[in-house]
Amino acid sequence: MRVRPSLAALALLPLLAACGGGDEVTMPPLTPEPGDSRPAEAPTAAPPRQTLPARLALYKYLRGISAGNARACAYVAPAYERRVFGGPGRCRSGLGRARARLRPQDLAALRGVTVPTCEEGPGAGECTVRFEHLRWKGAPARPGGLLAASFVLRAHGDRWLVAG
């Protein structure tokens, strides 16, 4: 007997369909293991009204850098001044040199920067502003040099200073 190949395939199709498909293997639900470490919670933004003086200090510091105004040094803590400018009292004399290392586009961007948010910590009486949280009127500045990845602001009496 001669069987056409296409008819033979059609005859075997129901037999092939019956194989498998009935007992499907599924993955059990994922559950955390005991002792599994969870990612640390993201820092929370402090209430805007509470951090306004700190954010204003950073705003004046950054705008002072853009203008080349040595009065920006009034918003710098001594430890930060030592680290960034090389010693106490060196901000005024070193601001011009540090500012000269910034690109013209960065200086232009600093003229339109705002500081909308501040995260609590790392210590008590401190708040942190990350570079990516700064807002720019136009193209953003590039981090580096005077433009740190984050700025830590600390209360010194009734004033806030850039401390790190």
Tens of pLDDT, residue by residue over 78-90, are 999 998 888 888 9
- Residue the block writes with tokens 């400018």: 85
Residue type, 66: S
- Band of pLDDT at residue 17, cut at 50, 70 and 90: low
- Band of pLDDT at residue 24, cut at 50, 70 and 90: low
- Band of pLDDT at residue 128, cut at 50, 70 and 90: very high
Q: Taking CA 85 as the corner, what is the angle to CA 81 and CA 86, rounded to the nearest 5 degrees?
A: 95
pLDDT computed for residue 39 by the predictor: 44
State the average pLDDT for the chain: 79
- Tell me the percentage of the chain whose pLDDT exceeds 90: 41
Please determine, for residue 104, whether its predicted confidence score (pLDDT) is greater than 90.
yes
Residue 102, CB-side half-sphere exposure with 13 Å CA sphere: 26
Please determine, for residue 45, whether its predicted confidence score (pLDDT) is greater than 50.
yes
Distance between CA atoms of residues 98 and 91, nearest Å: 9
Residue 83, CB-side half-sphere exposure with 13 Å CA sphere: 11
Residue 152, CB-side half-sphere exposure with 13 Å CA sphere: 13
Please determine, for residue 8, whether its predicted confidence score (pLDDT) is greater than 80.
no
pLDDT computed for residue 44 by the predictor: 56
- Is residue 91 within 8 A of residue 113, CB to CB? The reply is no
The reply to whether the predicted model has a pTM over 0.85 is no
Q: Taking CA 47 as the corner, what is the angle to CA 156 and CA 50, rounded to the nearest 5 degrees?
A: 35
Q: How far is the CA of 139 from the CAs of 132, 136, 150, in angstroms?
A: 13, 7, 19
pLDDT computed for residue 121 by the predictor: 82
**Among 76, 77, 64, 68, CA closest to 113:** 64
- Is residue 57 within 8 A of residue 162, CB to CB? The reply is yes
